[in-house]
Amino acid sequence: MAASLDLETLKKELNPEQYRAVTTINGPILIIAGAGSGKTRVITYRIAHMLDTGIPQSQILALTFTNKAAREMEERIKDLTGKKLQNLTVSTFHAFGVKILRQEITALGWRENFSIYDETDRNTLIKETGRELGFTADNLDVYQIGNLFSNIKCGRKTWKTDTDMYRELYEGYQAGLKLYNAVDFDDLIVLPIKIFHEFPDILEKYRSRYKYIMIDEFQDTSHQQYEFMHLLADKNVAVVGDDDQSIYSWRGADYQNIINFEKDFEGMQEIRLEQNYRSTETILAAANGVIAHNTNRKDKKLWSGNNSGKPIEIFMPENEVDEANFIAESIQGISMEEKLKYDQFGVLMRANTQSRAIEEAFLEANIPYTMSGGTSFFQRKEIKDIIGYLRVIANHDDDVNLIRIINVPRRGIGRATLEILNDYALMNKCTLWTAMSDLMAMPDCPFSEKTKGELESFRSLIESNSSMISGRGLSKKVRALVEEINYWDYLIADNPKSEKAARFKYLNIESLIHSIENWENNPDNIDANLYTYLNRITLLSRDDGDDENDKGKVNLMTIHASKGLEFPVVFIAGVEDGLIPHARSVEENDGDVEEERRLFYVAITRARDKLFLTSCQKRRKMQSVVDCTPSRFLDEIPVGLVEYHEPSQIVSNDKAMDILENMKKMFGNSNT
C-alpha cells in the first residue's frame, strides 16, 4: 500500500468499529477484539496511522506475546507505510524486559553480559543448590520446585507450612543466579519492575521515551506484566484483548486485568470488534452458543458476513485408533475432492498424549505432518552441555557457557571456587577464563592443591581441543571430546534411577555427532569449521522461527498451541469429559471449567470453513481401557448446527466366522 493513510483511505479499508479503534490515538482505550475480528489489522493500521500523523517512531511501544506475532506486525507496518522502522519498538514482553536489563541491570549488581537461564538451566541450578544444602534426590522434585519458585518470585503464591522447607533452597537458588551472572525467565519481567521501583529516575527515562503504548493479547497478561505496563504507561495506552480467549491462567495470565484496566485508567474508552472475517455463520453460532454458558465475561456476540457454511460434523468412533483413522482418511478424502493442501488442515488436541495414535495413522497413510510443541533438540540439556564445550573451545571468554560446563561432569569445582573467580573477574573487569589464569599464576593462589589441579585439568582439556577450530574431522573430534570427559558415566550418575533415560540422552548426543558429520561432508560446505557450525546452529535453534520445511504438512497441535492460528478445515479430537473439560478442572472449581470452555471456544474459532469434532466411546488410559462420556460442551452447541455420525461397525474376524458358520448351517453346508 502507499505511504499515506489518509482518513478516507482508512474508511474504505476498515469497518466503523475498526476505524474508530485506529483513529483514536489519545487516552486509555480498551479494544475488545473477538476471534477473527481483524485484531492484528487494527493494531498495525493504528501504528501506521500514528506514524502518518507525525508521531516519532521512538515514542511508540507495541508489546505482544510471541516473536512471530511481533515480526508479523513489523512487516505489516513496513508494507503500510513504506518506511524503515529502526526506531519503532515492536517486541514481546520478555524481549523488552531483556532490552531494559541490558541497559540497567548493573544497578542491581549483575554484569551487563548476563545469561538467561531456560527451564533446563533453572532445574540444573536447583539440583546443584539442593545437593549443597543436603537435599536428597527423593525430596528434590525439580519440576515441582521450579514451578513453586516461579510462583513465589511472581507473587502468585506465598510461603506456607507445606512449602517452608524449600525457602532456604529458594534463597540459595537466587544467590546462585546472581553468582553466575544469570537471570531466569521470570526475572525478565520481575527485575525491570524492581529497577523501576528502586530507581525512579530510570523509570522516568523510559516513561518519557515511550509516550504511546499498545498491548496485544491483553487477556493473557500476568499480574507482573500488568504492573510493568502500568508503571510505564502514562495515559496514551491502548490494550487489545478478548476475555473469551483467556486460556493461560496456569502460567499466570489473569483476564481480570481487563477489569483492572477499567479501574486504573480514568476516562477509558471501550471499543468492541464483533464482526468476524474468518469463519462461517455456522461455526460462529456454535462458538457463541458454547461461550454464552460462561458467567464471568463481557457480553458480546460475534457475527459474520460470510455464508452459513456446512454443518459441524460430530463423529463418535469406538476408540482412539478408529478416531485417528477417521481423521487421516477424512484429510485424504477432502484434500483430493476439494484440492486442499495438507497445511490447510489443523488437528487440535487437549493433551499431547493424544498425538500417538494420530501420528501412527498419519505415518501409515503417508500423510506428512508437523507437531507443534515439545522441547527443541538444541534446548535439551545434554545437547546444550556438548555445544557449551564447543562454544568455550571456540571462545574462552564465553562466561555463560564456561559456567555451564566447568563442573559438568563434576570435577569438584564448587561454588566457593566460582565465587572467588567471579569476585576477581568483577574487580578486574575481566572474563572468568582470565581470572582463572591470573589466580592460578599467583604465588599466593587462593585455591587448594586439589582445586588447582582440577582447574588446570579443565583448562588443559579446553586448550588441547583447539584443533577443532579449523580443519576437517569435526565430528570425530567431538566424539573424542565426549569420550574424554566421560559424559556417559556422568549421565548414569545423574540418572541413578533410570539407565534407560541416560541411554536416551546419550543417543541424542550420537544424533548430534551424526548431524555434524552430514553437515561437514556436504560438498556445498566450503568452510566447514567450528565457527561456521556454531553460527549455523545458533540460527537453527531459534525455536520460534518459521520452518519452511513445515509447508505442505498437516498441523497437529494442542489447542493452546493453536491460539492465533486459523485453518480452512479443523478437527478437534477427544471432545470428551476428562479431556475437555480436563478432569482436573472438573474436580477443582467452576472457574477452571469456565477456562476449559474458553479453550474449546478458541479451538472452534480456529476453523474457517469446516469443523469436525470426534468423541471416542472408549479410550486407553495407561494399561486399561475406559468408557468415555461425550463432553458436556457438545450439548451447548445449538442442535440445528450439527450432524452426528455413529461409527460404521467393523465386523471382527471372530464375528465374521460365526456369521459364516451360521450361513453354512442355514444352507446345508452347500458349496454351490
Q: Report which secondary-structure segment, H or E, holds 132.
A: helix 119-132
Give every CB contact of residue 668 below 8 A, 6+ residues apart in sequence: none
217 is catalytic: yes
Active-site residue identified among 297, 404, 606, 610 = 606
Nearest 5°: phi and psi at 429?
50, 50
Identify the CA nearest to 280 among candidates 105, 36, 596.
36
Amino acid occupying residue 152 = I
Active-site residue identified among 18, 39, 104, 129 = 39
Which DSSP symbol is given to 605?
T
Active-site residue identified among 245, 344, 431, 558 = 245
39 is catalytic: yes
For the residues of 478-512, what is the DSSP string, one character each? Answer: HHHHHHHTTHHHHHHHH-TT-HHHHHHHHHHHHHH
597 is catalytic: no
Identify the CA nearest to 291 among candidates 596, 546, 57, 5.
596
245 is catalytic: yes
Give every CB contact of residue 372 below 8 A, 6+ residues apart in sequence: 555, 556, 557, 558, 561, 562
Identify the CA nearest to 238 among candidates 217, 256, 212, 257.
212
Q: Name the burial class of residue 39, with classes exposed (0-12), middle (13-18) and buried (19+) by CB atoms within 10 angstroms of its CB.
A: buried
Cα–Cα dist 304/287, whole Å: 12
Question: Can you read off the three cell numbers belonging to residue 499?
Answer: 539407565
Question: Can you read off the three cell numbers belonging to residue 325?
Answer: 483413522
Q: Report which secondary-structure segment, H or E, holds 193.
A: helix 187-198
CB contact at 8 A, 221 and 254: yes
Cα–Cα dist 660/672, whole Å: 14
Strands 60-64 and 212-215: parallel
Cα 227 → chain centroid: 22
Cα–Cα dist 596/601, whole Å: 9
Active-site residue identified among 74, 186, 187, 217 = 217
Cα 646 → chain centroid: 37
40 is catalytic: yes
> Which residues are catalytically annotated?
39-40, 216-217, 245, 606
